Chains A and B, each alone.
Chain A
Amino acid sequence: DTEVTQTPKHLVMGMTNKKSLKCEQHMGHRAMYWYKQKAKKPPELMFVYSYEKLSINESVPSRFSPECPNSSLLNLHLHALQPEDSALYLCASSQGDRHYGYTFGSGTRLTVV
């Protein structure tokens, strides 16, 4: 299995909702990442988990809360988002000690209304 699987593919949520994005990989990668991507821009790093521990938080607002239940799963919990948070949210994984084989999922298209 060489894929990173993200669910759901599309999500529309109100500003008072709570929702979660899910990411799963079975490549034995020990680092997992959350990115945010706006149209016509490169992905922006949000969080990095290395060996199931949060190692990088790029000053992301607390309305985004990551969770890594085990080495194959990564969640992003969303609460009280703003319309400007609408974007493509990407999960990625890589070998923990190197970036080789850095693989992205297809993303969740999030719309906040």
Chain B
Amino acid sequence: QQQVKQSPQSLIVQKGGISIINCAYENTAFDYFPWYQQFPGKGPALLIAIRPDVSEKKEGRFTISFNKSAKQFSLHIMDSQPGDSATYFCAASYGGATNKLIFGTGTLLAVQP
């Protein structure tokens, strides 16, 4: 029940296309859903995050869509660029430091020029 399932494992998108990564969870107590972007040799960087009281959040080319009833959330990258090529992790948590931030397994995105 603490798992976050992420798909696909890898994704190839042409420059200018839309990249979509999906995550699903079971624990309805989760109340914070961040996405992290990680480049090789670097730490994960917080990209965008959403709370379950909204269905969508947009920051620039990045959008989180959240479906509370289906217990699913997704990251959409519009106008994908080669510089977006990285590993993306979704995550979920509730409460504070005494509860874990649960990570998905990651998606390796390659944007081809």
Contacts and interface: CB of A to CB of B under 8 A. Distances in A.
Given A40-B106, A100-B49, A45 B44 contact: no
Contacts of A48: 97-98
Contact of B106 (A41, A56, A98): A41
A50 B105 contact: no
A107 B97 contact: no
A102 B46 contact: yes
Interface in B17-71: 32, 34, 36, 41-46, 49
23 contacts: A30-B97, A31-B96, A40-B87, A43-B44, A45-B101, A49-B97, A90-B43, A90-B44, A94-B97, A96-B96, A96-B97, A97-B95, A98-B96, A99-B99, A101-B46, A102-B34, A102-B46, A102-B101, A104-B43, A104-B45, A105-B43, A107-B43, A109-B41
